[in-house]
Structure 1
Amino acid sequence: MRMMTVPGVGPIAALTFKAAVDDPRRFKRSRTVAAYFGLTPRRFQSGEHDNPGRISKAGDRDVRATLYAAANALLMRTMAGSQIKSWGVRLMRTKGRRRAVVAVARKLAVLLHRMWIDGTEFRQEHLGGKA
């Protein structure tokens, strides 16, 4: 129920995330949860080139799809304003809709893990990490 206080996160997203993570203490930092589900950019690096690619798509595909759907619902359907939504809308204007939704999904994974560890509820004015 605590995870469903986040806008866009419903019962399916909360249960899928909770079942996939299983034990939140196995991740040292909340940021690594997003990488575990493949929501971090893939890098193509050599001595001369550094090209950021698409997301790595490692980890559980169903959890990644559920987080993407929750982020899309947060940005497109949720009427309640929050800092995470306004951050995503600003990203959408500069980077495009798909990249913004993936970035918000990554932030949702970090936020849900941190809420689970701390036992806190979502606050509309709070945005975890950099804004």
Structure 2
Amino acid sequence: MERNRSENAEASIQDSLKRIAEHLKEEIEIIRQEIRKHISNDVELQNQDALICSIPGIGSVTSAVILSFMAGRKFSKAKEVAAFLGLNPRQHQSGSSVRGKTRLSKTGNAFLRSALYMPALTSLKHNPDIRAFGQRLRLAGKPGMVVVAAVMRKLIHVIFGVLHSRTVYSPQTAGGSLNI
């Protein structure tokens, strides 16, 4: 935001805005290092981080965000996690006459949903199971954002499965079908 602000700011405050942006960049890096240190100091978090990072398309930043939101919460099913994040479908219906499009409920944490957006796009390219899932949805005529939302939900199911089973992610059959 500060870089955008500096592009349109007067020349007299350009230097000040650049200093602020550099300071913010340094603070962000310090916080990232503290997060990495916290995860590396806790054996359970370290194991969970390794399991989550074994999924193609999910990196250390996304893993840390997921671990921070799921810490202390006990879920028994992947559907509960998806509902907690607001990635469950909600039908728009009233009586027999109003039938709108089904949408995401978005009742959960918007920050965590947004943190899953880029990993979903990356998984569509680099994870063979997710790529096959996305292709099936596209062939069924689903719009692009519906596919991305479904992939975000599928990633949560995969993450839950990896954490619940305590096993590293391994791609499914050669056909690439993912039935979780």
Instruction: Give the one of 129, 146, 149 matched to 1:102.
Output: 149
Counterparts of residues 16-35 of structure 1 (less than 5 Å): 16-23=65-72, 26-35=74-83
Task: Give the conservation status (yes or no) of the 8 Å contact 1:88–1:100.
Answer: yes
| Alignment pair present for 1:61 and 2:107 | no
Name the aligned partner's letter for residue 118 of structure 2.
Answer: A
- TM-score, normalised with respect to structure 1: 0.84
2:47 is matched with: none
CA gap 1:128/1:121 in 2 versus in 1, 3 angstroms: farther
> Which protein has the bigger helix share?
2
**SS of corresponding position for 1:39:** coil
Q: Which runs of 5+ in 1 are unaligned?
A: none
CA offset digits 1:12-69 (Å, max 9, x no partner): 1111111111135x21211111111011122223331443432111111111011121
Task: Give the conservation status (yes or no) of the 8 Å contact 1:43–1:52.
Answer: yes
* RMSD between superposed Cα atoms in Å: 1.8
1:41 is matched with: 89
Task: Give the conservation status (yes or no) of the 8 Å contact 1:37–1:63.
Answer: yes
- TM-score, normalised with respect to structure 2: 0.63
| Percent identity of paired positions between Structure 1 and Structure 2 | 29
| Alignment pair present for 1:12 and 2:61 | yes
**SS of corresponding position for 1:7:** coil
1:116 is matched with: 163
CA gap 1:23/1:115 in 2 versus in 1, 3 angstroms: farther
CA gap 1:117/1:23 in 2 versus in 1, 3 angstroms: farther
CA offset digits 1:71-96 (Å, max 9, x no partner): 111114x2xx5222211122134202
Instruction: Give the one of 77, 81, 85 matched to 2:131.
Output: 85
1:74 is matched with: 123
**SS of corresponding position for 1:2:** helix
Q: Which runs of 5+ in 2 are unaligned?
A: 1-49
Task: Give the conservation status (yes or no) of the 8 Å contact 1:92–1:99.
Answer: no
Larger Rg: 2
